[in-house]
Structure 1
Amino acid sequence: MLKVLTCLTTEHDYRLVGVAAVVCFAACFTAFRLYSRMRGAKGLVRAAWLLLTGLVCGSGVWATHFIGMVAYDPGLKTGYSPTGTLLSLMIAVLFMGSGFVVASAQRTRTNDMAGGLILGMGVASMHYTGMTAFVTQGHLVWEHATVGASVLFGVAGCTAALILAGRARSLGKQVLGGVMLTLGVCGLHFTGMGAITTVPDAAIIVPDQLLSGGVLTLAVTSITGLIILGGLGAVAIESQTTRSALERIRRLANAAYEGIVVVQDGRINDANAAFCELLGAPLAEITGKPLYGEILRFSGGEGSRDDVRREGVLQPVEGGREIPVEVFARLMDDGARTETSGLTVLAVRDLRERRSAEEKIRYLAEHDGLTGLLNRNSLQTRLAATIERVEASGETLSVICIDLDHFKEANDQHGHLAGDALLVETARRLQDSVTAPSFAARLGGDEFIVVQVGGGDQPTAAAELSGRMLDALATPVMFEGQDLTMGASLGVSLYPDDGRTAESLMANADMALSRAKEGGRGIYRFFKREMDESIRERRSLARDLKQGITDGELVVYYQPLARAADGEVCGFEALVRWQHPTRGMIPPLDFIPVAEENGLIAPLGEWVLRQACADAAAWEKPLRIAVNLSPLQLNNPALPTLVHEVLISTGLSPHRLELEITESALFKDYQRALDNLRRLKALGVRIAMDDFGTGFSSLSTLQSFPFDKIKIDKSFVENIHRHDRATVIVRAVLGLGRSLEIPVVAEGVETQEQINFLRSEDCAELQGYAIGRPGPLHTLEAWTRANPAPAQAPDQTQAPAEPQATRRSRRSAA
């Protein structure tokens, strides 16, 4: 070792030694940068990187050797043989390339050691082959032990360089590998130089054509510099290209809506911004962390398989609620780079929005969209399941059917928004009235169901709940500054007395509801077996009536009105009849209430109005036609528009149409009704107050609106001269009419005595059987023709006498 140090300090030019060391490190560092690229390549790309790595490293080691040789000065004339010089260069390139190939074949310690051995032996072979090109005036005497030590230095340095550099992916690893390889090469060279002793011999002549030290130094430095610069340039270009491509890919990945994560060996290698946002952590914090198990879990417990979509959950880094995700994995292998082998790219889609949408769809499929209560399908399913549970547990159960009173009127009068407000508020109050496991549902329209589970013994518990719900629904609802009247009727059926299935319990509760409506509304009724047949009959009648309106089974009968002074007919009142195809003539008393209960009164009233106007327009005499309006029609904002359209389509003059209303109809919505009456008056239509003296009659109504006619109810007229009070009332009403200059019509006139009294009290018009019975259109010719035949009363057998109760029901609905 002392001889080696002596040789280095006394026989070498320090400047050239420094140049040799710099050239060696530059070449070794560049070789490891190229080596990192070669490890991640395949095929032709790998071969190109291999050739460049071997050329740079081999030429650098070769340059280090010959610069070091030029720095060596034995005190004798020296030269270099071109053949040996070139041969040593080829050996260096070949061995350097081979060593790096072996080391990069597989990332193991054995491959690194084998590659280091090849590199070390290549440096030794290059060195001692290059020494054969060294020519001097003397003989070279070798110390074999030192030669062996030099080879060991070289192999150790090369092996340590490969082991410590590893994949050489980072700049620090590349510098460390370059330093260790430089130490190995320089250690081998200068130890080998210390193994020789030059014995001068004047007989040996150094030819002049040999390469001189200066020329060799210039040539070696220039060639090696160009090769190193070329290698560094290639690395720089490739790195810049790779960085640009990676930046483009990252921008695209970060623009993606879905999370994208690159996994290698089960650990996170890279990820886009969307994935980092899902985890709630920056990329630097999650890089290198295990993905499967800790962060991402699948239902099957396995990792994501290639080209298979699977669902799992993602756990944010900072904790919190797990995120449902859908994962699609694909192996990333471009066939050109080994660094992509084993890399898996996972597309991670956040399923929270989709799950929320699915949950919303499921909710809407099971619940009513307006009120949030269970819908009909969900009710039947849940009620069936509840019955099974109750049957097993021995609990009690009742089904309560709820229908809002006069909901259709409120909906038509105030608009659909008001109706919706009523339904929503009803649902809220029903939900507040029950506690789990009892529940409420909406069947549709204004009909609701409450299923009471438990609560005590039946029917006491059902009665208590029904009473509470009636009280809750009785409070008005405020809508746009107005109080909307609430109210309901309830029907109750009990399990198992009234049924053991959901269908039978609901059907029987509905029948009980119908009985509650018949009883006056605002009450509840329990199901009774005897009500089954009558309710079925009414429902059948309602279906027939709806079809009858469509099929034209209804007919209009006309009852004449005459002037009291001379008895001449001046108009008719339209009265509806139903000619059922199998039941025959059905009186209004039977079908008008059915029409009211089932929402048929509006189309029925419109049909009567159109038919009566069309018939009257065809009469030769311009007689008036009187048509009754139901409360629902009167409070409908579209009534004036409908009347105008009917008058235009039928060609009837407005002053010939007389619309009769009861004062009780005004009180449903007083202001709206008066507004409609004023609009009708503006069309030229006459307005009559029907059944004056009954119901809610008050003088304020006559003061609020200028009626064209007042009709005294039949109940007073038929008692003239029978009851003094009735006579006084009729005389007072007639006097009131004269004072207000409003003509008065007396209904129900049946005797000559009544006619004489009414004439004496200046009654304007008379109506009743004494004038003429109601009859179909073809019986009116004697009155409606311009030049009638000799007076002949119409067929008095065409229609039976109409009971007073029937007339009142008809007027309230037709």
Structure 2
Amino acid sequence: MLKVLTCLTGQHDFRLVLVAGLVCFAACFTAFRLFSRLRGARGLVRGAWLLLTGLVAGSGVWATHFIAMVAYDPGLKTGYSPAGTLLSLMIAVLFMAAGFAVASAERTRTNDCAGGLLLGLGIGAMHYTGMSAFVTQGYVLWEQATVAASVIIGVSFSAVALVIAGRARSLTKQLIGGTVLTLGVCGLHFTGMGAVTIQPDINVVVPEQLLSGAMLTLAVTAITGLIILGGLGAVTIESSTSRSALDRIRRLANAAYEGIVVVQDGRINDANAAFAELAGAPLGELVGKPLYNAMLTFDGKEAAREGVRREGLLQPVAGGRAIPVEVFSRLMDDGARTETSGLTVLAIRDLRERRSAEEKIRYLAEHDGLTGLPNRNSLQARLAAALERVEASGETLSLICIDLDHFKEANDLHGHLAGDALLVEAARRLQDSVTAPSFAARLGGDEFILVQIAAGDQPAAAAELAGRVLEQLSTPAVYEGQDLAMGASLGVSLFPDDGRTAEALLANADMALYRAKESGRGVYRFFKREMDETIRERRTLARELRQAITDEELVVFYQPLARAADGEVCGFEALVRWKHPVRGMVPPLEFIPVAEENGLITQLGEWVLRRACADAASWDRPLRIAVNLSPLQLNQPNLPTLVHEVLIATGLSPSRLELEITESALFKDYQRALDNLRRLKALGVRIAMDDFGTGFSSLSTLQSFPFDKIKIDKSFVENIHRHDRATVIVRAVLGLGRSLEIPVVAEGVETQEQIDFLRGESCAELQGYAIGRPGPIDSLSAWTLARAAAAAQLETEARGAA
């Protein structure tokens, strides 16, 4: 050691030694900078980085040796053999490249030590090869122990540098690795120089050097510096490019809606802002945390699989409810960098909104959107489950079919929003009437179902529930400050007496409901076998009537009205008939009630109105046509608009159209009915009160609206001179008409005695079989063309007389 120090202090130029040390550190530091890129590269890229690393490190170590040799002054003339000098440079570059290649192959202590061994051996081989090119006036003698110590120093420091630097990803690691390797290079060189003893010999010829030592030092330093700067520049450019690319990727990743997380060895390596927000922690806290099982769990035991979408749960760092997520993974392996090996990129999508939407869709698929009750599809499944339950438990079950009595009126008179409010209120009351496992459901429209499961006597329990429901639904509902009438009819079927399947129970409860409607509504009825055929027949009739309206199987018959004074026909009343292709002519008393029950009366009434107006417009004589309005038609908001449109379409004068209404029709919605009548009156249409004397309050009705005509119901007319009270009533109505100056029409006139009586009491018009029976339009020519025929006959007679 003393000899080494003596050699260093006594035989070296400290200025050049310092230059050699700086060059060595710059080269070693740059080599570790390059080594950090080399460890993460593959293929051609790895080869390029390896070549640059070996060149920078080898040239730097060689330059250190050369400059230090220039700094060495043994007191004798010295020189250098070119071949040996260049050979030492090649050895340095090759061994440095080999050492770094081995260390970068895989990060293990073994590889680091093996790489350090090659680096140390390369430094020693370069040094002693370079010393073999050293020429001086004498003989160079070596101390073998010191030579071995120098090689051990070089190998040891090289291995330590590689172990400490590790991946050399940080600047600190690179500085430490470069410093330790510099110490190893310098330690080997100066220890090796301490092993040298020169025995002078004036006979040894030293070749003349082309350049001085100072010039050689400057040249070697400059060239080596350029190589080192080239390496640093490559690293800087690559780092800047990588950072720029990384910044762009991070900006894109942070702009993504999905969470993106990079995982390596099961731990979080990087993530975007969306994932940090999902995880409930900043990125700094997430990096390094284990992802699988600790934060992200799947249904199966294995983690996310390449290219497979899987669903799992993400547990936020701060705790709380786990978030359902969908995970899609990709291996991030570009084939050029070993550091990407094992890196997996996970795209994590928050499924809370989708799950919420799915739940909503599932709810809507199973529940009515308006009332929230189970819908028809859900009813089938729940009823089937209820039947299985009662089969197994021995409980009893009843099914109640409910139809709201006043829904169509509320819907037509007050609008759809009022109808919806009525349905919602009905659903609420039905839900309140049962407790689980019993339940309520909505079939559609204004039809509801109650399924009751009880432990006791089901007929009694069903009757009690039905009575309670009728009471609850009888109270009016309030909508926008006004009361909407409510009511219901109920049909009840029992399990297993009335059916053992859901379909049978529903069908039979519907049959019982039909019978409840026939009974006057507002009641409940149990299913009875004997009513099955009758109800089926009426339903068949309703279905055929709907088709008949579409196919125009209906015809309009016309019954004449005549002036009582002279018997001349002054108009007709339109009466609908159904010419069934199989049943023949179906009487109105059979199909009109069916039309009212099934909501077909409005469609039927509109068809009759259009047909009658069109036929009347084709008559030669301007006779009036009377058309009956159903209560539902009268209360429709668009009735005046419809009548106006029909008059324009057919070309019929409004004064020729006479609309007949019954007193009972007014009291469905009194104010709306009067408003419609006034609007019709403003069109010029005549309004007649039909079946006078059979309504609720005839006199108040006459006071409220100026009718153009009063029609005495035929039940009074046909009893003239048969019952004194009927005769008195007819006489009183005729007197009332004269007092109010309202013409009175007598319906049901069938005898000459009735004609004489009515004529004597100044009745305005007569209608009945005594005047004429109803007939199709082609049988009316005797009345509609009578005046034209008479005029033609008079003209013919006048010509004959001339």
TM bin, normalised by shorter chain, reads over 0.9
Matched residue, 2:123 = 123
CA distance in structure 2 between the aligned counterparts of 1:558 and 1:93, rounded to whole angstroms: 121
Cα offset for 1:471? Answer: 2.5
- Provide TM-score, normalisation by structure 2: 0.93
Matched residue, 1:701 = 701
What are the within-5 Å matches in structure 2 for residues 451-470 of structure 1? Answer: 451-454=451-454, 456-470=456-470
* Partners of 1:80 and 1:210 within 8 A in 2: no
Q: Which moved more, 1:713-722 or 1:102-111?
A: 713-722
Cα offset for 1:210? Answer: 6.4
What are the within-5 Å matches in structure 2 for residues 223-372 of structure 1? Answer: 223-372=223-372
CA distance in structure 1 between the aligned counterparts of 2:457 and 2:501, rounded to whole angstroms: 20
Matched residue, 1:23 = 23
What are the within-5 Å matches in structure 2 for residues 85-234 of structure 1? Answer: 85-201=85-201, 204=204, 206-209=206-209, 212-234=212-234
CA distance in structure 2 between the aligned counterparts of 1:649 and 1:208, rounded to whole angstroms: 128
Cα offset for 1:206? Answer: 4.4
Relative distance call for 1:218 and 1:626 in structure 2 (3 A) is same
Q: What secondary structure is seen at the aligned counterpart in 1 of 2:529?
A: coil
State the identity as a percent: 83
Matched residue, 2:473 = 473
Q: What secondary structure is seen at the aligned counterpart in 2 of 1:400?
A: strand
Q: Which moved more, 1:714-723 or 1:695-704?
A: 714-723
Q: What secondary structure is seen at the aligned counterpart in 1 of 2:167?
A: coil
Matched residue, 1:450 = 450
What are the within-5 Å matches in structure 2 for residues 515-534 of structure 1? Answer: 515-534=515-534
Cα offset for 1:717? Answer: 3.4
CA distance in structure 1 between the aligned counterparts of 2:516 and 2:743, rounded to whole angstroms: 42
CA distance in structure 2 between the aligned counterparts of 1:776 and 1:147, rounded to whole angstroms: 137
Matched residue, 1:799 = none
CA distance in structure 1 between the aligned counterparts of 2:635 and 2:713, rounded to whole angstroms: 23
CA distance in structure 1 between the aligned counterparts of 2:235 and 2:265, rounded to whole angstroms: 27
Q: What secondary structure is seen at the aligned counterpart in 2 of 1:168?
A: coil
* Partners of 1:82 and 1:210 within 8 A in 2: no
CA offset digits 1:479-509 (Å, max 9, x no partner): 3443322221111111111110001100010
* Partners of 1:474 and 1:486 within 8 A in 2: yes
Matched residue, 1:810 = none
* Partners of 1:120 and 1:156 within 8 A in 2: yes
CA distance in structure 2 between the aligned counterparts of 1:686 and 1:342, rounded to whole angstroms: 92
CA distance in structure 1 between the aligned counterparts of 2:85 and 2:649, rounded to whole angstroms: 120
CA distance in structure 2 between the aligned counterparts of 1:343 and 1:102, rounded to whole angstroms: 23
CA offset digits 1:417-461 (Å, max 9, x no partner): 322222233223222222222222222221111111226431122
Relative distance call for 1:210 and 1:150 in structure 2 (3 A) is farther
Matched residue, 2:402 = 402
CA distance in structure 1 between the aligned counterparts of 2:393 and 2:438, rounded to whole angstroms: 15
Relative distance call for 1:156 and 1:725 in structure 2 (3 A) is same
Gaps of 5+ in 2: 791-802
- Counterpart code for 1:607: W
CA distance in structure 1 between the aligned counterparts of 2:204 and 2:616, rounded to whole angstroms: 152
Q: What secondary structure is seen at the aligned counterpart in 1 of 2:85?
A: helix
- Counterpart code for 1:333: D
- Provide TM-score, normalisation by structure 1: 0.92
Matched residue, 2:676 = 676
Matched residue, 1:796 = none
Cα offset for 1:254? Answer: 2.5
Q: Are 2:653 and 1:647 aligned?
A: no
* Partners of 1:625 and 1:658 within 8 A in 2: yes
CA distance in structure 2 between the aligned counterparts of 1:151 and 1:519, rounded to whole angstroms: 118
Cα RMSD of the aligned pairs, angstroms, is 2.4
Q: What secondary structure is seen at the aligned counterpart in 1 of 2:458?
A: coil
Matched residue, 2:562 = 562
Cα offset for 1:31? Answer: 0.3
* Partners of 1:620 and 1:786 within 8 A in 2: no
CA distance in structure 2 between the aligned counterparts of 1:716 and 1:587, rounded to whole angstroms: 23
CA distance in structure 2 between the aligned counterparts of 1:87 and 1:210, rounded to whole angstroms: 19
Matched residue, 1:415 = 415
- Counterpart code for 1:654: P
CA offset digits 1:536-584 (Å, max 9, x no partner): 1211221222233334443333333222223333222222233333334
Matched residue, 1:38 = 38
Cα offset for 1:163? Answer: 1.0
- Counterpart code for 2:739: S
Cα offset for 1:655? Answer: 1.2
Q: What secondary structure is seen at the aligned counterpart in 1 of 2:786?
A: coil
CA distance in structure 1 between the aligned counterparts of 2:787 and 2:91, rounded to whole angstroms: 141
Matched residue, 2:797 = none
* Partners of 2:262 and 2:343 within 8 A in 1: yes
Cα offset for 1:234? Answer: 0.8
Cα offset for 1:139? Answer: 4.2
Matched residue, 1:809 = none
Q: Are 2:558 and 1:539 aligned?
A: no
- Counterpart code for 1:699: L
* Partners of 1:79 and 1:212 within 8 A in 2: no
* Partners of 1:334 and 1:340 within 8 A in 2: yes
CA offset digits 1:681-734 (Å, max 9, x no partner): 222211011122222224333233221111222333344455555444434433
* Partners of 2:692 and 2:698 within 8 A in 1: no
* Partners of 1:693 and 1:712 within 8 A in 2: yes
What are the within-5 Å matches in structure 2 for residues 580-729 of structure 1? Answer: 580-720=580-720, 725-729=725-729
* Partners of 1:331 and 1:345 within 8 A in 2: yes
| Paired positions, count | 790
Q: Which moved more, 1:327-336 or 1:204-213?
A: 204-213
Cα offset for 1:522? Answer: 1.4
Matched residue, 2:743 = 743
- Counterpart code for 2:356: S
